[in-house]
Amino acid sequence: MDFSKLFGGKRSSDGSDAGGSDRSTRGKAIYDFDPTGLERAAKSAHLLKDHPNASKILDVAITESQNKRLEILKDQKAYELKIEYAKMEGVKQQHDYAVEILKEEAKTHRTKAEYEDFLARKRQEDRLQMEKTSQLELLKIQEESIKRQEELRRHTIDYEF
């Protein structure tokens, strides 16, 4: 909380505190610690100590701090909720993808089974056609053989008489 607003203090035109200086030149310690924040807090506490409405100002500061924490917590929970939603969407997409894969596999399996059935029927038809052709050829050969035998018999009978 900026106590300069409460006490009617003025800020410089660049937005930094009137009593502070450039952070890069003043207050830097060995580990890049900036003590200007502590200095401002100490100055605000000193001013607050002597102020007649100190308890009200402190209550306002505490309330603002709690509100800020609650806002941060709310934002954090909203972010966590978005993450969970994204995870659920990912799981849903994986499920949908798996369902599509299973449908495609079933379709492929069905097509393969139909084609194998077609090939089996075709082989059966070809085998039956070959058997029929073989039987017809055999029958033709037998008929020719019988014809020759009859001719020989007739020829033999004609020769004997």
For the chain, the domains span 38-158
Other CB atoms within 10 A of residue 43 CB: 16
Q: What mean pLDDT is reported for the chain?
A: 84
Please tell me the distance from the alpha carbon of residue 15 to that of residue 11, in angstroms, as a whole number. Answer: 6
**Structural tokens at position 128:** 């039956």
Provide the whole-model pTM.
0.44
> In the prediction, which pLDDT does 36 show?
87
Q: List the structure tokens of 111.
A: 């097509």
Using the predicted structure, report yes or no on whether residue 22 has a pLDDT greater than 70.
no
Cα radius of gyration (the chain): 52
pLDDT tens digit string along 82-98?
A: 999 999 999 999 999 99
